[in-house]
Structure formats: structure tokens, C-alpha cells
Structure 1
Amino acid sequence: MSKAFSAIDEDREVDRDAFTPGVEPQPTWCPGCGDFGVLKALKGAMAELGKDPEEILLATGIGCSGKLNSYFDSYGFHTIHGRSLPVARAAKLANHDLEVVAAGGDGDGYGIGGNHFMHTARENHDITYIVFNNEVFGLTKGQTSPTSPKGHKSKTQPHGSAKSPIRPLSLSMTSGASYVARTAAVNPNQAKDILVEAIQHDGFAHVDFLTQCPTWNKDAKQYVPYVDVQESDEYDFDVTDRREAQELMTETEEALYDGTVLTGRYYQDEQRPSYQAEKQSRGDMPEEPVAKRYFDDDYEWERSFDVIDRHK
């Protein structure tokens, strides 16, 4: 049987370098780019969780963030723009023992793939979604993105954007995500810890990851100084309370454009079952991953008309 199955859930110690490709490609991210922080945090999180590269799938979109799976050694799927979530969902449903992480930029995830974002959250698929949020389209050279602040000047908005930015944390929770957090590339320890929690979470975990773009978005600078809402005495709230979480999310999203960077865990619901669990409880999905059948020479395949009741 494939190592992708036999390696899953083994108790092991893993070094972060295990996720560095044997022939390491030279990163094409600009010096000072926040994307390096995401890569470091993801490697650290998977090592801490004792994951093996062959039990992980990393699906990415288009943009600077889409290069992540070129620099992270695991199974990878480089999708088209805004489509990392549908691929990640399908992979998780076919093999729910696989650790599935999707990643994309703010334009990729909140703009072009915004519809997939809302419905993946609504259905509560058991995957982790990392959004590289640098408030600009970086790879295509600095156009205004869904998270660019109102008044932001760019090639596409030379007189300043007339639109208010999207509120990704609030959108995530109201759409149905059961874990919502924000971290930043300048806070590597918090970033790693949040990714560990997000990956362990049974349900849709959304991490809005502030990643500075020193080349095309100098207005955002480095997202410093930052405040960890879990460590600050100014913010006392219950991450399991939707109303309290929503109030702090709103404050966080407004404060960012005033120069105050709030990060941390905002919402967590451990009681809501994942989409996979819901489907299994209805008898629509087998307990054993469907993907395992491809490695079973003795398996007798069913046809759809043999397993689905015909309409009467």
C-alpha cells in the first residue's frame, strides 16, 4: 500500500528541514517579503505535529503565494486562480486521512475565489486555509486588491480606490468557518502556534496571514507593532462566543487601516461537526477513505446505479 496511507498517524519526531525539497528551488520572492514567514511557520507547525511530507497535500492558487508548494516538500497541487479550495475539498473528501492545506493570496482568495471561500466555510470542510494578505496584487505588479484600503493608489486605481476593503475575518465567521485567526509574518512564534491549532482543528480553519510586500505595497510597511489579543490585558473575550468574537473582529479590521495591528485567535467552535462527519452520519460517505480503494487489488468496484437509490 502507498506510503501516503501507511505513514498516516504514526508517532514520530520530524525536523523542520524534512519539508525542504531535496533539490531546493531558489525562491523568487523579493527580499523582505512576508511569504518567507508563512513558509517558515508552516514547516515549523508540521514538524511540531509530527507530520510526514507524504501525508500532506498543499493546494495553492495563482500569485506569489502560489509558489508555496514549490518550496514546501509534500504532495502539491498548483491550481488556477482562486481555485485552491475546490481542489483541497475534493482531496479531503477522497482521502480524509490526508492533512490538507490550501493557500492563496488576498486577491486569489477573497476576490477571484471569494465564492469558494464562503461556501467552503459554510460547509465546514476539514481543511486549513492560509490567505497571504498583503493588501495588493503582488505578482502582477501592484494592482489594488480586495483588502487594499480605501484611497489606496495603484496602477488600476491611480486616483485612489473608491471602495472599502473586504472584512475577511468577519466574512469568514458569518459564512460558517469554525476556526478564525489572524497572524503576521513579523510574529513567527505566534504564526507557528496558530497554524498548529488550525491544522489540528476538526473543521474549516481560516488563517488570515498578514504578509508585508516591500516592493508593491510600501504603505502597509511591516505590520508592526502588533498586538496579540490573547496576551494583551486590553482584550478580554471568549473565543467560543460568536458575539464577542464578532465585536473584536470588527475592531481588528477597522484598526488595521489606522495603523494598529491586532492578531490572534478570534473564533473557535469545536462542537460543530465537519462536512465529512455530517456526510458519514447520513451514510453518504464511507468511513474508510475512498482513495484507498485504488490500492486494493481485491476491491470490487460499484457502479453508481448499484449504490444510489433510483428516484421513484
Structure 2
Amino acid sequence: MSAFNAIGEERDIDRDEYTPGIEPQPTWCPGCGDFGVLKALKQALPEVGRTPEETLLCTGIGCSGKLNSYLDTYGFHTIHGRSLPVARAAKLANPGLEVIAAGGDGDGYGIGGNHFMHTARENHDMTYIVFNNEIFGLTKGQTSPTSPKGHKSKTQPSGSAKTPIRPLSLSLTSGASYVARTAAVNPNQAKEILIEAIEHDGFAHVDFLTQCPTWNKDAKQYVPYVDIQDSDDYDFDVTDRREASEMMYEAEDALHEGTVLTGRFYVDEDRPSYQEEKKAIGEMPEEPLAERYFADDYDWDQKRSYDLLDRHV
């Protein structure tokens, strides 16, 4: 038995299944890079064999948070910066779910930065997509943690005095076992990277460059891009932390100098996920917690709050 009766069902999946029956009119601006994330996800999920019923998407606040409205899966629209703890809890309770978290650069690297760091450190088995447009878009153009030094905005009219964070380097040093960067202007690579990230056993972080033509007029910096796996100018071992770190540092420097380096930066297939580590020390139940919700004869220590809710069928 599964807490979601569609988990494990083998059937052909069409990407159109991920489009809501009554599709809402997108409120993203024309030319927004967020459309690229939506398209890449709709292409990637069927290829990894995941149905909408097997998928949970947790989003934060901001333009990226609207992703739930346009992707027909289970969804949880969290408060600002809190998509990761909700996603972690869902995965621990029901390991059979494919859990994806998403948020913007302000949501993920700023307000939720502590959750990002510790989710990577613990290597939770999930995919985290960060829409990185170097600006707070939904709240109309404030400086974000990834805005380049000197960037002028409503909150920094004289130019930002702060050096932007390095999201790839932060992810690696925190402990993520899959780190990649792609861009909305590179749809084929975006799809391939999301497939790899979703299939990866562990914390997969994808820094997704999404141009904001409305509030960040520097969006042109995301074109053209260079795929580091296809270029002869960049030769490094993605499984070597030191070489990956050096490549990330170079990519993060180059971004604000007009060269956009995208691709896989670090992949560790050998590190156990958080769930595997907890099983090894006997702190993960053999039966997922989500299954107990369906068991009428399960001996709960306390009254279940779930008894107040209608069950999923």
C-alpha cells in the first residue's frame, strides 16, 4: 500500500499531464525567464517516469512561487524562504514522492539562506531549483543577494555597496552532492540538467538563471552562454571537490564580466542521502509515516490531528 495510490504505477506519461485542466493565465511578464523553468520541468518529469500524482512541488514567495499554479502536481505554497523545510518534511514522511523545491534568489539565498545551507549539509534527497534573476521581481525591483556590486535599484539608488553571494560555491561548501547552473536561454541543457537533478540520490541544487526584463535591465548578460561540458576551454573533474570549487569560483567571477558559464559543476554519486544515513542508524521507520495515516488499526501514541481531515483517495 502507498500513501498515494499512484506511486510506483508504470505507465506512459505525457508532458501535457502537467498542464492544469483549466490553465490559469500566466502573470509572468513577457520575456520572463521563469517560463523556461516551467517548460524544462514539464519536459524533464515525464522522462524520469514521474507522474503528477508522484510529484510534490514546494515553492516560496515571489514570481517563482507562481510555478505551482502552472504545473499540475501536488503543491505546497510556503511562506517566504521556507520551501525547503516543508519539502524536507514531506520527503521524510513519504519517501516515495519525488520532491522538488523552488524559490527565487531572494527567497532561497537570502530569507531562506539558513535552510539552504543546512539542507545541503544534510544532503536531503530532493531537487532545489533557484530562479536567479539577481533582483526581487515580484516586489518591484529591489536589490537581492545575487545583485552585482554597483547595481542600482529602488533600495540601492546609488548602487549596491555589497558583493553578491556565490551560490554555487556556497552550495558546494555546505555539502550539496549535485550542483549545476543552467539558464532559461538554454532550454535543451536546462531539461537535461533537471533530469539529472531529479534522478540524483541526494540534495541536487540547480542555480537557474532567469532573466527579468522588467526590473533587471541587465538581463542581457545571460546571453550568450557557454556550456562548460561542451567547451574545450574548461577541463575539470566534476567529481573532484577541489577542481569543482575552482571552476565554480571562475564561473561566479565571469558572470558579472559578461561570460555566462553553465553546466554541471559538481556530482557526488557515492555520498549517502540524509534518509539513507537515518536508516543506517535506525532512526527511519521501516514503514513510512505517511502510510500510518491510512492504517485504521495503527496504535498512535496520541490522537491524530489527521482524523479531522478527509483522506486522499
Shorter-chain TM-score: which interval?
over 0.9
Tell me if the contact between 2:61 and 2:107 (Cα under 8 Å) persists in the aligned partners: yes
How big is the shift at 1:50?
1.8
Is 1:251 equivalent to 2:250 in the alignment? yes
Is 1:234 equivalent to 2:233 in the alignment? yes
How big is the shift at 1:295?
1.2
Structure 1 counterpart of 2:289, which letter? V
The count of corresponding residues between Structure 1 and Structure 2 is 303
Where structure 2 has 5 or more consecutive residues not aligned to the other structure, the ranges are: 303-313
Distance 1:188 1:122 in 2: 29
| 111-120 vs 218-227, which moves further | 218-227
SS at 1:263 equivalent: strand
Q: How does 1:99-118 map to 2 (within 5 A)?
A: 99-118=98-117
Aligned Cα root-mean-square deviation (Å): 1.3
Q: How does 1:89-100 map to 2 (within 5 A)?
A: 89-100=88-99
Where structure 1 has 5 or more consecutive residues not aligned to the other structure, the ranges are: 304-312
2:266 aligned residue: 267
Structure 2 counterpart of 1:97, which letter? G
How big is the shift at 1:300?
2.5
How big is the shift at 1:221?
1.8
1:208 aligned residue: 207
SS at 1:57 equivalent: strand
Tell me if the contact between 2:100 and 2:126 (Cα under 8 Å) persists in the aligned partners: yes
2:162 aligned residue: 163
Distance 2:100 2:257 in 1: 31
SS at 2:124 equivalent: coil
What TM-score comes out, normalization by structure 1 length?
0.95
Distance 1:111 1:10 in 2: 38
Is 1:11 equivalent to 2:2 in the alignment? no
Tell me if the contact between 1:213 and 1:221 (Cα under 8 Å) persists in the aligned partners: no
User: Identical aligned pairs, as a percentage?
Assistant: 82
Distance 1:168 1:12 in 2: 37
SS at 2:264 equivalent: strand
Distance 2:24 2:15 in 1: 17
Structure 1 counterpart of 2:128, which letter? Y
Structure 2 counterpart of 1:151, which letter? G
How big is the shift at 1:287?
2.8
Distance 1:203 1:57 in 2: 16
Distance 1:273 1:227 in 2: 31
Tell me if the contact between 1:186 and 1:222 (Cα under 8 Å) persists in the aligned partners: no
What TM-score comes out, normalization by structure 2 length?
0.94
1:309 aligned residue: none
1:310 aligned residue: none
Q: Deviations over 1:206-256 (max 9, x none)?
A: 000000000000113261110001111111111100011000000000000
Tell me if the contact between 2:221 and 2:258 (Cα under 8 Å) persists in the aligned partners: no
Is 1:199 equivalent to 2:192 in the alignment? no
Q: Deviations over 1:103-124 (max 9, x none)?
A: 0000000000000000000010
SS at 2:220 equivalent: coil
SS at 1:191 equivalent: helix
| 34-43 vs 215-224, which moves further | 215-224
Tell me if the contact between 1:169 and 1:208 (Cα under 8 Å) persists in the aligned partners: yes
Distance 1:203 1:121 in 2: 9
Is 1:289 equivalent to 2:288 in the alignment? yes
Q: How does 1:47-66 map to 2 (within 5 A)?
A: 47-66=46-65
